[in-house]
Structure 1
Amino acid sequence: MAAAEEEDEGGKMAAAAAAGGGCCLRPFSCEQGLLSRPDGSAAFLQGDTSVLAGLYGPAEVKGSKELPDRAALEVLLRPKVGLPGVLERSREQQLRGSCEGVLLGVLHPRTAVTLVLQVLSDAGSLLSCCLNAACLGLLDAGLPLSSLFCGVTCALRPDGAIVLDPTTRQEQEARAVLTFAIASVERKVLMATTKGSCSVEEMQQCLAAAQRAADTIFQFYRDSVRRKYSKS
C-alpha cells in the first residue's frame, strides 16, 4: 500500500507541474506489477478515469494466428460492465495499431502477445487512458519497444478553445473530440481519431497541444519507472 501511495503522490505532483506549465492535464498516477498472473501489468489513473492493463506473452501461438516474421499481437478491451460492443472493437483496433507501431515483434516471431485492458471507471478521455495503461503494461512485461507512447485527448469547444484531457461532460459539450497516440521519438503520431467536426487548422492546433502535453506524460513514465526500480 505504501508503494501505491507513493506512486499516487508522484503522479499528482507530475500533473500539478503540468497544470502549472499550462498543460492542464488532470492528476494522474500509476502502479505497475500489481497482478501476479500476467507477465506485465499496470493500472493507470487520469482524474477519475482508470484502466487496468494485463500483458501476456510472448507465448505459444495457435497455428491459425501464427505469424512467421513477428509476434502476433491481440488487444482485448473489457468495459466496466457488460460485454464488449462495437465501440470496444473499434478501440481495440486503434490500440493494437498504436502498440504495433512501437513493439519490436520481429524479435519474437511465431509467438503471441495478448494485451487485456479492463476499464475500471470512465470519467472522460478513456481511449488516452487505455493507451497510457497499455504502454506501462508493455514496459512492466519487459517487451522490446522502439519508443514509448502515450495517449492525449483534446476537446474542441464551440468557441474554438482547446481542452486537454477532458472529462465526460466536457466531451459531451465539445464540438469535436480528438485523441492522439504519440511516440516519444520525434513525437511521431501513431494513431489519431476524431469525433465531431473540426477544420484542418483546428486539428493541427489540437495535435500541437497534444504533443506538448505528451512531454509531461513521458516524464511521468520515467519518474514512475525510476521509483519502481529504486525500491529494489
Structure 2
Amino acid sequence: SLSAGDTSVLAGLYGPAEAKLSKELPDRAALEVLLRPKVGLPGVLERSREQQLRQTCEAVVLGVLHPRTAVTLVLQVLSDAGSISFGREGLLSCCLNAACMGLLDAGLPLSSLFCGITCALGPDGTIVLDPTARQEQEARAVLTFAIDRSERKVLMATTKGSCSVEEMQQCLVSAQHAADTIFQFYRDSLRRRCSK
C-alpha cells in the first residue's frame, strides 16, 4: 500500500506465471495492469489509465527474462483525497508510484525504477507539486510525468488543461527535481523492509 497525502493505492503483483495461450508472447512476459476504483466497476477512464500504466511498466520491466509468461499488476484505490472524480491526476501519480513499489517488492527484474509526479500550474503561473483536489480544480493545467531514475527521461506524460511549451518545460524540470525525493523514499522503504 502506498499513500500520498489522502490518496492511497494498494498494489498486488501476480506472476510470472503460465500465460493463457491467447495472451502468451513468445519473446517476453505479457504484462497486464488492472486498476480498480474504490467503489463500483472500472469504466472507460480506468481502462485508459490501465493502458498508460501498462505502457510505463513495460518500458522498464525486463520481460525478455520471462518469455511465454504472464504478469498481472492489480492496483486497488483505497482513498482518493476526497475527490469525487476518478480522473484526478494526483491519483495517477500515486498509482505509478504504487506500481513501481509493487514491481520492486515482487523482485521482478527492472531496467530502471520510475516514479510519478503531478504538477499543477496555477492561474498566475506558479507550479504546485503534488496538488490537492482543490488545487487541481483551480489550476490552469495539471501535468503528470512518469520519470525514469537512471536517465531522468520521461516515460509518460499527461496534460489536463492548456499551457505553453515553456511552462511545460518548467513543470518537467520541477518534476525531475522532485523525483529525487521519491527515489530516496523507495530506498528508505526497501532498507527498512530488508533490515527486519
- Report the TM-score range of the alignment, normalised by the length of the smaller protein: over 0.9
SS at match of 1:65: coil
Cα distance, 1:186 vs structure 2: 1.2
Aligned to 1:84: 42
CA distance in 2, matches of 1:177, 1:156: 6
Instruction: Report the Cα offset of residue 188 of structure 1.
Output: 1.3
In the TM superposition, what whole-angstrom CA distance separates every residue of 1:135-154 from its partner, at most 9, and x where no partner exists? 11001110000011100000
Aligned partner letter, 2:35: L
**Structure 2 match to 1:119:** 77
Return the match for 1:169 from 131, 134, 138: 134
Distance 2:62 2:138 in 1: 39
Partner of 2:192: 227
2:118 corresponds to which residue? 153
2:57 is aligned, of 94, 99, 106, to 99
Measured after TM superposition, the shift of residue 223 of structure 1 is 0.7
Amino-acid identity (%): 86
The TM-score normalised by the length of structure 1 is 0.81
Paired letter, 2:183: F
Structure 2 Cα separation of the partners of residues 53 and 86 of structure 1: 20
Q: Deviations over 1:32-84 (max 9, x none)?
A: xxxxxxxxxxx100000000000000001011111000000000000001111
Q: Distance in 1 between matches of 2:107 and 2:116?
A: 20
SS in 1 for 2:136: helix
Q: 2:174, 2:110 → 1: CA distance?
A: 25
Q: Distance in 1 between matches of 2:44 and 2:121?
A: 24
The Cα of 1:86 is off from its aligned counterpart by: 1.1
Structure 2: which 5+ runs fail to align? 82-87
Count of residues in correspondence between the two structures: 189
Pairing of 1:150-229 with structure 2 (within 5 A): 150-229=115-194
**Matching residue of 2:85:** none
Q: What TM-score, normalized by structure 2, do the two folds share?
A: 0.95
Q: Distance in 2 between matches of 1:90 and 1:177?
A: 17
Query: What is the distance in 1 between the residues matched to 2:139 and 2:97?
Result: 23
How far apart are the structure 2 equivalents of 1:134 and 1:175? Answer: 28
1:108 and 2:66 are equivalent in the alignment: yes
> What does residue 102 of structure 2 align with?
137
